A and B are shown apart, each in its own frame.
Chain A
Amino acid sequence: MSYVEASGLAKKYGNATIFQDIHFSLRKGEFVTLLGPSGCGKSTLLRSLAGLTDIDAGCIRVDGEDITRAAPQKRGIGMVFQSYALFPNMSVEQNIAFGLKLQKLPGSEIARKVADVIRLVALSGKEQHYPHELSGGQRQRVALARALVVEPRILLLDEPLSALDARIRKSLREQIRDIQQRLGLTTVFVTHDQEEALTMSDRIFVMDQGRIVQEGSAEMIYTRPATEFVARFMGSYNLLTPTEASRLLQLETRGHLAIRPEAIQIFTPGQAYPAHLSAPLPATIRQHQLLGNVIRYQVQAHGITLQVDQLNRRAEDLLAAGTEVNLMIDQQQMREVH
């Protein structure tokens, strides 16, 4: 039974279509990510769910109730903005209590709820601080607390981590996911960062040019991209044109052939390799990039450059540019995309 249902959503500004033909349904407690490049319409779609942007067509239902034309105040939706949107004139405590005060709850109840949510986002001791006295990560946690304290039916997160540095981003996304699961909160997260989408989501909707081009679990989106766009967007996929595929692998394809960099193995000459794999493909190492636990090689075979990721096990295994190697490509991991 779906908790949120959107059907036929469309939005235009003048002649420009922002999004169209959007259909999806969310289960209660599900964490869904709208993933796409900037300008694909994902943020506008999120704002439409919140009621901050009108839609031209379509219908949105939450728990069976049609909220398509409801005012933002009446939707029971909480939102966290990329810019935090904390009220600069209010302390942390006042920011969080804002929504509760508007609900005219008794003071003691407000104080209790505010204290609870401050503990939940680990901001104890910062109650009297003002937004400008907080770090980016702390501000975003205040924004999260402010959205959570009014107990929304759906939580919307509009690129909440993009303004933060890498380390904070990582810890905050774990925190967000943890809180979301603890509260069983239906959440829609917008991002252009594949890693964020893959690590946090139950399901991912990949958007391109105002449409949802693929939806599925993180695992599925990553390993089975449906289109060339998804394959390109999801990371460093090797995309071979039909001619290249035929030249390199003697495979006849109609669309592009997508091969993940980690689905290719490098064998140095003389190294034993499993017999069930295809015939080895001679290649030359062009250069390498150290990505921490992974080494990304640029390898050339038949004049085609491929990216190959290898686990960074031992420093002495590093292959220098010019080394002649054999490549093994697991046929099972290849995907034909259009």
Chain B
Amino acid sequence: MRAELYHRSVVAVLILLLTVPVLATLLYSLSEHWGATILPDDLSLSWYLQLWQDSAFLAAFGRSLAVCLGTLLLATLIIVPAVFVVFYRFPGLDKLMNALILIPFAVPPVVTSVGLLNIYADGPLNITGTPWILVGCYFTIALPFMYRSLANSLASINVRDLMDAAHLLGASTPVAFLRVILPNLRKGLMASLFLAFSFLLGDFVFANLLAGSHYETLQVYLYNMRQTSGHFTSAIVMSYFLFTLFLTWLTARFSK
């Protein structure tokens, strides 16, 4: 009985710790004013209306979406065939790949950014301040999510036997890949895409250092808006939070 009470209180405190800041932010974003009183004076959606009518916000949101979706499209086109080749032709490379995909996380983002700035700030490839440098950089961030998830999917099917069976039934390697292997990667691919997407959408360090105000993304916009009303920034945070929540739900759905 005592043990159960203890367990319940631990869980309750944890849930409280996690939800109070979010609920407070939500409440703050919904209140017109919140000054000397314990509870807000009057609730309204006015900050949200103001936010979603702000062309700078919409543009920043659009830029974030463009960079993230562009990155993930590029990543899908490159990583899916690459993982397949590793598993089908060069299984020995899997170990090397597992070490390689750690690098983007092992090197702190600031260090990576400084390195990238040094290389791409002038010729021959001067792409600092453009979305292209973000796409390239985000690709390396998406790689670990996608590689691991696809590798798990491939490990769960017998790639070699499936390919051999398809070959013997008359399929060429590309046909066998498209019709036999790819459909089995769909779940893993979708889950990793959503995960990588919500991760990339939340990036501030790379976006700020590599592109900054030349290409203002959602997080940079949020940062630039820090001097405006707290109610307004709360509305930005909540909009972003709900959007990622939706993506997380989708991830969970596709991982099943």
**Interface of A with B (CB < 8 Å)?**
47, 50, 52, 71-73, 75, 77-79, 81, 83, 85-89, 98-99, 102-103, 143, 146-147, 150
Contacts and interface: CB of A to CB of B under 8 A. Distances in A.
Given A79-B164, A81-B161, A102-B175, A87 B180 contact: yes
Interface stretch (B20-28, B70-78, B85-93, B166-174): B166-174
Interface string B144-183: 0000000000000110011011111111100100011001
A98 B166 contact: yes
Q: Which 6 A-B pairs have the closest CB atoms?
A: A99-B169, A85-B161, A89-B183, A85-B165, A102-B170, A72-B167
B184 A150 contact: no
A52 B164 contact: yes
A5 to B, nearest CB: 21
Given A88-B184, A89-B184, A102-B175, A83 B170 contact: no
Nearest to B185: A89
A79 B165 contact: yes
Contacts of B170: 73, 99, 102-103, 150
Contacts of A88: 157, 184
B34 to A, nearest CB: 54
B167 A87 contact: no
Contacts of A99: 169-170
Given A83-B161, A85-B158, A88-B157, A50 B180 contact: no
A83 B169 contact: no
Contacts of A47: 164
A150 B162 CA distance: 17
A176 B229 CA distance: 78
A147 B184 CA distance: 21
B164 A102 contact: no
Interface residues of B, number: 18
Q: Interface on chain B toward A: helix, strand, loop, or mixed SS? A: helix
A87 B171 contact: no
Given A87-B180, A89-B180, A89-B184, A81 B164 contact: yes
A147 B169 CA distance: 8
Contacts of B179: 87, 98
Contacts of B169: 98-99, 102, 146, 150
Given A73-B168, A85-B158, A88-B157, 8 more contacts: A52-B167, A78-B168, A79-B165, A79-B168, A85-B162, A87-B166, A99-B169, A150-B170
A273 B183 CA distance: 71
21 contacts: A50-B164, A50-B168, A72-B167, A73-B172, A79-B164, A79-B165, A81-B161, A81-B164, A81-B165, A83-B158, A85-B161, A85-B162, A85-B165, A86-B165, A87-B165, A87-B179, A88-B184, A89-B183, A99-B170, A102-B175, A146-B169
A330 B170 CA distance: 55
A16 to B, nearest CB: 17
Contacts of A78: 168
Contacts of B171: 73, 98, 102
A100 to B, nearest CB: 9
Interface of B: 157-158, 161-162, 164-172, 175, 179-180, 183-184
Contacts of B175: 102
A52 B161 CA distance: 10
A73 B169 CA distance: 6
Nearest to B180: A87
A150 B179 CA distance: 18
Which of A102, A103, A143 counts the most chain B CB atoms within 10 A? A102
Which of B170, B179, B180 counts the most chain A CB atoms within 10 A? B170
B167 A73 contact: yes
A102 B176 CA distance: 10
Contacts of B168: 50, 52, 72-73, 75, 77-79, 147
A211 B114 CA distance: 62
Contacts of B158: 83, 85
A321 to B, nearest CB: 48
Contacts of A86: 165
Contacts of A52: 164, 167-168
B89 to A, nearest CB: 14
B30 to A, nearest CB: 46
Nearest to A74: B170
B156 to A, nearest CB: 9
B170 to A, nearest CB: 4
Nearest to A96: B169
Contacts of A77: 168
A334 B165 CA distance: 45
Contacts of A75: 168
Contacts of B184: 88-89
Nearest to B158: A83
Which of B167, B169, B170 counts the most chain A CB atoms within 10 A? B169
A78 B162 CA distance: 14
Nearest to A71: B167
A133 to B, nearest CB: 16
Nearest to A87: B180
Nearest to B172: A73
A68 to B, nearest CB: 17
A75 B179 CA distance: 21
A77 B168 CA distance: 7
Contacts of A89: 180, 183-184
